[in-house]
Amino acid sequence: MSRASRPTALGALAGLLSAVLFGASVPITKRLLPDVAPVLLAGLLYLGGGLAVGTVRLLAGRRIVEASLGRSDLPRVLAIVLLGGVVGPLALVHGLRSVSGVSGALLLNLEGPLTVLVALTAFGEHLGARAAAGAGLVFAGACLLAVPGAGPADGTQLGGVLLLVLACAAWALDNNLTQGLAGKDPWQVVLAKTLGAGTGLVSLGLILGDALPTGRVLAAALILGALAYGASVLLDAFALRLLGAAREAAFFATAPFAGALLSVPVLGERLGALQLAAGAVMVLGVALLVRERHGHEHTHDPLEHSHRHVHDAHHQHPHPDGMDSAGPHAHPHRHAPLTHAHAHVSDAHHRHAH
């Protein structure tokens, strides 16, 4: 593997691991719903994620070098907490009550195309014709799941479908807002999101009169949250940094397949004909997205920001006195105008006209 392609490969790996952890949580979340009220369950999942990420971050200490969040980042962080940590999970847990585990898992594939759509229209990212066709196919597969009777008498209702679409839309905005903070400490971003949403939703659930679950169910919810809303969200933040929101969506689109497959042994469900067809269409769309490659001569405009970096073609600048610049480091720096050609993705340094 070339040094230039290593960040993209690491981003792909982070995105896939994040997708598997989150996708596998869908049928388990549905299994927990009879024992925990939806609002309280959503809060416990995020609280488990925040506690896990916070513990690891505390143990790592100064070994993690990142650019800290600033006061100017607060509005974006609050929007991320509201959309990704409140609207998304509430719509998810309520929607899962009236759809099957298989249909619910596959419908979550809408998050990918919606993330791509927002990234292209509002945040200046770029995808080629092949990737755009892939996103369209994933949309088509999700539409198949909304056809009445798509599942084998699985009890899926239109209201549940619409709630899952709302969850995906909230997470699509969340993904793009998080990508805008890609240069900042992802641990801080994830902690703000998970602990903020977790404490808020748990408090709301208790105010509404929801009862805390028994010890075993409580432990299961927190452990599930540690993996699906802690490790998964952190890995996704790194994927957003390395790939951009549009390409990250391509890899995260594999999440519903993990959930659909796990629904068979966990919930005793089976895959119907239309669900299998929808899955096949989605697989083709994801394959087109993953195979998209992009490279051309481009010009970098002057840019000043702070983020973790090493000395490469994009980072040739002076450093503050006493700073060790041999390894990864973070400090405010300025990029001079630069024109060159290489393979790239729509990361923080590559938002340009095509």
Tell me the HSE value of 166 on the side-chain side, using a 13 A CA sphere. Answer: 17
E strand or H helix at 332, and its extent?
A: strand 329-335
Token pair, residue 153, equals 């008498």
β-partners of residue 298 are 340
pLDDT band for position 342 (50/70/90)? Answer: very low
Mean pLDDT of all residues in 117-128:
78
**For helices 215-225 and 6-32, what crossing angle results, to 10°?**
160
Lowest average pLDDT, out of 125-134, 229-238, 245-254, 294-303, goes to 294-303
pLDDT above 90 as % of the chain: 21
Mean pLDDT of the 72-80 span: 92
Lowest-pLDDT range of 100-114, 173-187, 302-316: 302-316
Rounded mean pLDDT, 131-155: 66
Between 126-135, 184-193, 230-239, the lowest mean confidence (pLDDT) is in 126-135
Which token pair is 218? 């409580």
Most confident of 17-26, 45-54, 118-127, 255-264: 45-54
- Cα dihedral value 205, 176, 230, 264, nearest 10: 80
pTM equals 0.72
User: What crossing angle do the helices spanning 129-145 and 273-291 adopt, rounded to 10°?
Assistant: 160
Structure tokens at 241: 């940094």
pLDDT above 70: percentage of residues in the chain: 75
Higher pLDDT, 208 or 93: 208
Q: SS3 of 336, please?
A: coil
Phi and psi at residue 263, to the nearest 5°? -65, -25
pLDDT in tens, 233-263: 999 888 888 887 877 877 777 777 777 777 7
Which pLDDT does position 97 carry in this prediction? Answer: 79
Q: Specify which residues 354 forms β-bridges with.
A: none
The predicted structure's pLDDT at residue 28: 85
pLDDT at 23 over 50: yes
